[in-house]
Amino acid sequence: MNSTAKSLILKAEDNLNTARQHLDDDKQHDIVGYNLAQACEMYLKALCVLRNLEFPGDDEGHDLDALMQILEEDNLSAISSHADIVELTPYNSTTAKVRPDERLDMKEYWDHVQDLKNFIRETVN
């Protein structure tokens, strides 16, 4: 495996570990959301690297939908089954503050990110 892709996957794992530590603490909702979104970003970028695809380095590089579109345009249609993670994009900033009435269920999104993680493992192996 490419060292850049491996590094991105390891960063994603770190983000997942942080999210898991705070998953049951409602006061840490934004921290969990941020780390789940970051894990998704790192996984998607790792897939791009493995497929020799360029991804934006600016703010668009944090947009999970934009990253998924890059992969879909490269005929990785199976990534579409993980489209739920796109809803984590508003959390993908260290300054993100999601209003209480717009908050996602982080336990549900934990499961979506785990599904993406499994997809990455299957794709890499």
pLDDT at 55: 94
| Residue 117: domain span | 3-124
Q: For the residues 101-125, what does the mean pLDDT come to?
A: 94
Q: Quote the tokens at residue 16.
A: 């997942």
In the predicted structure, residue 5 carries a pLDDT above the cut 90: yes
Q: What is the CATH number of the domain that holds 22?
A: 1.20.120.330
Confidence category of residue 96, pLDDT binned at 50, 70, 90? confident
Q: For the residues 76-84, what does the mean pLDDT come to?
A: 93
For the entire predicted model, the pTM comes to: 0.95
Q: What's the total number of domains in the chain? A: 1
Give me the sign of the Cα torsion angle 124, 84, 115, 108. positive
C-beta neighbour count of 43 within 10 angstroms: 29
| Residue pLDDT, tens place only, 29-54 | 999 999 999 999 999 999 999 999 99
CB contact at 8 A, 38 and 15: yes
pLDDT at 28: 94
Measured at the alpha carbon of residue 91, what is the angle toward residues 103 and 41, in degrees to the nearest 5?
135
